Amino acid sequence: MTTFPDLKTVIITGATSPRGIGRATADLLASSGWNVGIIDLDEAECKNLANELSSRYGIQAYGAAADVADEVMVRAAIDQVENNLPQIVALANIAGVSSAVGYLELTSQEWHRVLNVNLHGVHYVTHRVVETMVRHGVGRIVSISSVSAQRGGGTYSKTPYSVAKAGLIGLTRSLARELGPHNITVNAIAPGPIDTDIMGGTLSEERKAELVEDLVVTRLGTTADIASAIRFLLAEDAGYISGQTLNVDGGLYMH
C-alpha cells in the first residue's frame, strides 16, 4: 500500500465564502499541515485566500478560478494547482448551489443549473484529480452530499438539490469500487442543518430553534463540524473506509 508523501496537497472546491464549509475546511486542513489548492469562481478571492492560508499556517497554497460546471475551466484550474503545489493526495468537493424553487414552479433552466454544479461539477473535478491520484497510487476523495438526499428534501433546498445530492451518493459508491484497486478511497458526507448562507442566509434564532426540534442533539451544526469530518476521512489512517456516506446531522436521519 502506497503511503502519503511527506508533502501533500488537498484540492478544495468552493472554499472562499467566509461562512462556508469550504472555508472552514481550508483553515482546518492548512492548520493540520496540508498544502491547499483552492478552486472557486472569483480569481482574486482564490488568490487572497491562498495567500492568507500560506501566511497564517506556513503551508503552500494556490488559488485558481473555475466554474465547476465548466469542464474545460476545471481542467485548466487543476493543471495550475498541480504545477504549483506538491503532490495532490486529496480532494474535497464542496462547491454547491442551493435551490428553494418548488417542483411545480421549477424551470428547465433551474433544474440544469443545480445539477450542473452539484453533480456534474463534482464529476468534472473528480475525473481530473483522479488522473493524478491513479498515477501516484494513492488518494482520498470526499464529496458533500446532504441529508436532503436521504429524506427526500425537507430542507431549505428542494427537488433538484435532493436529486443532485442523491446522485453524489451513487457516484461515491461506484467510484469507491472502481478506484479501490488504485489505493484511492471515496466517501461522502451528508450534513444536516448547518448554519451557513446556503440555508438561505443568516438564520434567525427562531428558525434555528425550529430546526433543532428535529434533532437528537441540542444545537445546529457548524461548518467546523463538517470540516472535522472531512479531515477525518481524508487522513492517511482512514484508508479502510470507502464507499460510505457519513451523516453529520445531529441525529436527524438514522439508517
Which residues does the annotation mark as catalytic?
161
CA dist list (Å): 213 to 201, 217, 220, 221, 249: 20, 9, 10, 13, 13
Which DSSP string do the residues of 117-182 spell out, in sequence order?
Answer: IIIIHHHHHHHHHHHHHHHHT-EEEEEE--HHHHHT--SSS-HHHHHHHHHHHHHHHHHHHHHGGG
Total length of the chain: 255
Strand pairing category for 184-191 and 35-40: unpaired
Alpha-carbon dihedral sign for residues 39, 40, 43, 44: negative
Residues 6 or more apart in contact with residue 184 via CB below 8 angstroms? 130, 133, 134, 138, 139, 140, 141
Q: Hey, what's the cell of 229?
A: 469530518
Q: Hey, what's the cell of 154?
A: 425537507
Q: Tell me the C-alpha distance between 53 and 164, whole Å.
A: 31
Strand pairing category for 61-65 and 88-93: unpaired
Give the position of cell 485548466. 76
Q: Tell me the C-alpha distance between 167 and 150, whole Å.
A: 11
